[in-house]
Structure 1
Amino acid sequence: MSYSVFSTHRFEKELKRLVKKFPSLKKEYTNLINDLAEKPDSGVSLGNNCYKIRLSLASKGKGKRAGARVIIYLCLDPKSIYFLTIYDKSEKEDVKPNDLKMIVESLHFH
């Protein structure tokens, strides 16, 4: 199964900010992309083909529980993964359902 990977503008902006704070995130993000190629629906389902993935941040040194959260949208036809948002668990507890709905609706294939 080969999936195309895309990032939203919001995700790119958040990733850039977090990489400055946690330099190891760059490598961990690359590893995540490779892991998703093997198992695209890994993580906790949030409904509507959205998944929350817990990501350990080596720079933070606290494991997955206190690490970052990545929200993806999985599109089955065509086979695509959209990185919607990323956040540090210590800065933000979760993504509100209405916010997630707005992010998904902003994707241009709807």
Structure 2
Amino acid sequence: MSYEVIAIPKFRKEIKRLSKKYPSFKRDFSTFIEEITENPIQGTQLGNNCYKLRLSIKSKGKGKSAGARIIINVVISKSKVYLLSIYDKSEKENLSNKELNDLLRLIQS
């Protein structure tokens, strides 16, 4: 089963910033999209059908642990994956529950 992947506007801004900062980011992110299109249920479950996934950024040279974190929301009944947030692990440690709830409100409205 293939899922439709939808990025919210805030996510697109974050992608643009990271792709300017890291030369390999576009290629790394493209591979990630191929993976979640086929199997979105992976990573650490955050509740509310949300998952935190790790993305290795090859141009950082440090693997997944120092790469980016991507927060997704999976709606199985509609076969959709919403890309909610992406951040560089070196810039931000975690996403708070309030931030997650605010992001979920954006896709429900």
Unaligned runs of 5+ in 2: none
Q: Where in structure 1 are there 5+ consecutive unaligned residues?
A: none
Amino acid at match of 2:29: Y
Shift, 1:37, TM fit: 2.1
Q: Which runs of 4+ in 1 moved over 3 A?
A: none
Structure that is richer in helix per residue? 2
Identity of aligned residues (%): 48
TM-score by length of 1: 0.95
SS of 2:11 mapped into structure 1:
helix
Give the total of aligned pairs.
Answer: 109
Counterpart position of 1:75: 75
Q: Which moved more, 1:6-15 or 1:33-42?
A: 33-42
**SS of structure 2 residue aligned to 1:107:** helix
Partner of 1:16: 16
- CA RMSD in angstroms comes to 1.0
Match of 1:87 in 2: 87
Shift of residue 75, structure 1, vs aligned partner:
0.6
User: Distance in 1 between the 2:31 and 2:3 partners?
Assistant: 15
Give the TM-score normalised by the residue count of structure 2: 0.96
